[in-house]
Chain A
């Protein structure tokens, strides 16, 4: 069974640009959550999508957005990139909604460097 697939794995952008990251969940999983991982802030929750609807959102500015498609694949977009957006962006999927005792299965991440 294929795991959570994130593309691209690495990318470099310059300030002011925008970026789109993609996540394909485990087959059959309907929930996708996104996290930002940085050395200073650790793992911070961005948002969660379930059945194409945003169910929960973390404390990030509106430059960070996402969506989920009918096949459960998800994308996140960051506009007007800032140096502080450099991070590892992790996607995680779960069978049901990201709640309770449900376990998240993580992808390997997309490492974004903003110059």
Chain B
């Protein structure tokens, strides 16, 4: 079975400071990993994904994520937070090797608030 954990329900950061939203995953094989963001009354928007290769993945709006296989983590980062980054962030995983686990499994979400 595949699963995702986002240990922090809420992350607060001051505008201009770096931000990190944590994600750890569990799969039986190797993962495909994704980050999505949800603004109020909107659907989820894709930010970035890890397939293979470089452990540092760059995505939309200046976000990046670092894949760490030994720690089974895929933390989302941004060097300088903006107030407009305030939103709900979801990490998601698919097991690369499992034919039955085709669906995307999401974490519980982390509410990011960037304070002006």
A positions within 8 Å CB-CB of B: 4, 6, 33, 35, 42-43, 45, 48, 55-56, 58, 90, 92, 97-101, 103-109
Contact = CB atoms under 8 A, between A and B. Distances in A.
Interface residues of B, number: 22
Contact of A101 (B45, B49, B90): B49
B102 A43 contact: no
Nearest to B96: A100
A42 B107 contact: yes
The CB with the most chain A CB atoms within 10 A, among B46, B94, B103, B109, is that of B103
A99 B102 CA distance: 5
B43 A106 contact: yes
A55 B43 contact: no
B44 interface: yes
9 contacts: A4-B43, A33-B103, A42-B109, A55-B102, A92-B43, A98-B103, A98-B104, A104-B104, A106-B45
Interface in B86-102: 90, 94, 96, 102
Given A4-B43, A42-B108, A108-B42, A103 B103 contact: no
Contacts of A99: 94, 102
Contacts of B46: 103-105
B32 A101 contact: yes
Contacts of B45: 106
The CB with the most chain B CB atoms within 10 A, among A55, A56, A101, A107, is that of A101
A56 B109 contact: no
Contacts of A98: 102-104
Nearest to A109: B43
Contact of B43 (A48, A56, A97, A108): A108
B44 A106 contact: yes
B41 interface: yes
Contacts of B44: 90, 92, 104, 106
